[in-house]
Every structure is written in C-alpha cells, then in structure tokens.
Structure 1
Amino acid sequence: MENPKPWLKPLLEFGPLVLFFAVFMLFRNDTVSIAGRDYGGFILATLAFIPALVLASVVQWRVNGRLQPMQIATLVLVLVFGGLSIWLNDPRFFKMKPTLIYLLFGAILGASLVLRRNWLGAVLSEALPMDDHGWRKLTLRMAVFFVVLAIANEVIWRNFSDETWVWFKTFGLPIMLFAFLMGNAGLYRAHALPEKRD
C-alpha cells in the first residue's frame, strides 16, 4: 500500500477513544432501550468503541501489513471485557480492562529483563536507536510505569464516578504516557547510538 496520509495514524490510534468519550458525554444521563434492554451511556459508548477499534485495527493491518503484539493484546482484551460489559450490562468489566492491559505489558517487560531479552528495543529501535544499557533502563522504568498506571486505574474506577473514569481514561492516561516519554528524554540522549555516516 502507498504511503498513508500523515493524519491517518493519529486518527486510527485515538479515533475510537474519542468516539467513546463523545458517545458517553452525549448519553451519560440517559437510558436507551435496545432489543428490550435498557443501557446507560457507558454501555452505549462501549457499544460504539468496540467496532470502531476493530475497524481501526483492520485499517492499521492493511496499511502496515501487520499489527504489533501490544495492539493485538489490547484488541483481544477489549473484545473480551467490552463484550462482557455489554452482555452483562455492567461497566465494571470494561473498566478493569486497562488494569489488565497495563499489568500484562508490565509483566512482559519484566520478563524481558529477567530473560535478558531486549523485546522493547526489538519493537522501538528503528524509531529510537539506543545502546543495550539504555534499553535495559527504559524497559525497567516502563515496566514500573505500567504497574503505576494499573494501580491508578484501579483507584479511579473503584472510588470515583463513571464520568471521572472516562475523563481519566480519555485524557489522563495519554497525558501520563506523554509525560513519561518526555521525562525520559535525557536517557534517550545519553544512550543514543552514534549516527551512521555514508
């Protein structure tokens, strides 16, 4: 496939999440009856989010020729826990999904450290060339960071309203991830590989 438009990547990555947020905000105080069952705004937003994520994943696969393992794991967990939330008409399952995703990612990164494998570098080295020591540091920091995100998600969904969790999920988590990546800029510079010269 020819080079995609520059706006396509952010649209595919954030489009389903923005749709979830928009549907929730529109219907957060309403109840809608579908096939004889009453659903609140959270479940309606989940109903919109799942097919949007599936469509975005299919397009990403067509554009890139493959999906990253993290994208596949996220899609599977969304289908399972989002499906449970819709089937049982219970938002709790969908709210638990980020916790499980972040714990899974943290465990994978932790295992890569124990096994002395540079799995993070294998995925990101083209965009972020660093030496092995830099990748080990970043892997450890990211593993801890994912555990922190999992704990934060649990605290928010168990102690605050649906609306608070939706704001946290839509804006809080991406801001935390951006802050983490920017906060490690010094590590990227300190362990950057020398540029190759022709």
Structure 2
Amino acid sequence: MSEKQINPGLKMALEYGPIILFFIGYTLFKDRVFTVGGAEYSGFIAVTAMFIPLLAATTFVQWRLTGHLSKMQIVTLVLVVGFGGLSIWLNDERFFKMKPTMIYLLFASVLGFGLLRGQSYLESVMDQALPMEREGWMILTRRVTLFFLGLAVANEVIWRTMSTDAWVNFKTFGLTLGTFAFFASQMGVFSKYGIEEDKDTGADASG
C-alpha cells in the first residue's frame, strides 16, 4: 500500500514533537524526585516514562494517517521501548542514554552489510522520495554509514563524560541539527546524480 501524503507541518510535529516535549519535561522536572511504590525516581526517569507512550502514540497516529511506517521508525520505537523500559525498571538512566548509540550502530551495520554486498539499502527505503542514479546512492550510503558511526561515537563520549544536561541538549538539538546539516551538505550528490522525472516523462511521450 502506497503512503498517503499528510500536511508537512503535521508530519514534522509527529516526528519531532516527542523529542521537544522530552526536552521541556526534563527542563521542568530534572531537579525533582518522584516516589512510586516506595522507590525514588529522578526527574529524568519520570520524563523517560512519559516519553515512551508519547512516542508510541505519535508513531501510531502517523501510521493511521499515512498507512506506512519506515523501517527506521519501527526500529527506533522498539529500541526506545526496550532501553527506556530498562531504565525505568532498573531505575538507571544509563540505558536510555545508550539508546541513540544502539540505534545508530544498528543502522550503520545494516547499511554497511548492504555495501559489502554491493547494494544500497538506503535506496530501497528512500528511492521514491529521492530518485537518483545507483552510483549516487552508493556514494550517499557510504557517507551516511560513516555519519551514523560518528553519531554513535559522539553519543557515547557525551553521555559518559558530560552531564545529563549536556546529553539532553545533544539529543534534542545536536542530533537533529547535525542530521539536517549532513543532508544539506550532500546537495552536490543529489544535484549530480538526481533523476528528473519530468525528463523521463517527456522521453516516454516523444517515443
């Protein structure tokens, strides 16, 4: 089933809304301690407990509206539930902080495995949104793989050596802005190897 198109503003709100709300929640509750069942939980753990169902709800809404979820969205939700659940269950914020590392390592591993087989798995999930020649996809996939590895390393360094405040800022703004900046820097690849559908249509019509 093809993906239904929704308002771009709504799509962005569903994708980035939970991250922004996590940041706001952490800012409001980071210095508070919550007692549940005789156990004390930090504000970070409490906000994590709120973030998981919020992400699940927005992912479900996006699926209902578009009839489609990318593999990346599904994997991200599974890892958020898994590592976030461990943080809550064990009352240890480190598991949730590890989650971006696991996500980016997994994506880099999958893309790297495809490259070893001479394939671009990135093309298989983005081809409809970004028509491009195969050589362009291979170049972009190699760069995205290295980018994901870099993000995984950055996340590990930040959560292990810096404060929770620094990690939350990195997760909220650093990862998002870094991703936008990376793809903006790839405009040369998109321009050189992009396929203009109008040209293909015109060729078919003339034939």
Give TM-score scaled by structure 2 length: 0.91
Matches of 1:51 and 1:173 in 2, distance apart?
21
CA change 1:3–1:182 in 2 (3 A) is closer
SS in 1 for 2:201: coil
RMSD of Structure 2 on Structure 1 (CA): 1.4
User: Does residue 158 of structure 1 match 2:125?
Assistant: no
Aligned to 1:176: 178
Contact 1:25 1:41 in 2 (8 A): no
Q: Residue deviations 1:2-36, cap 9 Å, x none?
A: 75333210111011111111111001111122232
Q: What number of residue pairs does the alignment pair up?
A: 198
CA-CA distance at 1:41 after TM superposition: 1.4
1:197 aligns with 2:201: yes
TM-score relative to the length of structure 1? 0.95
Query: What is the identity, as a one-letter code, of the residue corresponding to 1:189?
Result: S
Residues 76-95 of structure 1 correspond to what in structure 2 (within 5 A)? Answer: 76-95=78-97
Deviations 1:144-169 (A, max 9, x none): 00000000000000001111100000
State, as a whole percentage, how many aligned pairs show the same letter.
49
Q: Which runs of 5+ in 1 are unaligned?
A: none
The residue number in structure 2 matching 1:48 is: 50
Letter in 1 for 2:49: L
Aligned equivalents of 2:5 and 2:138: distance in 1? Answer: 33
Structure 2 gaps, min length 5: 203-207
Corresponding residue of 1:112: 114
Larger radius of gyration: 2
Q: Among 69, 72, 95, which residue is 1:70 paired with?
A: 72
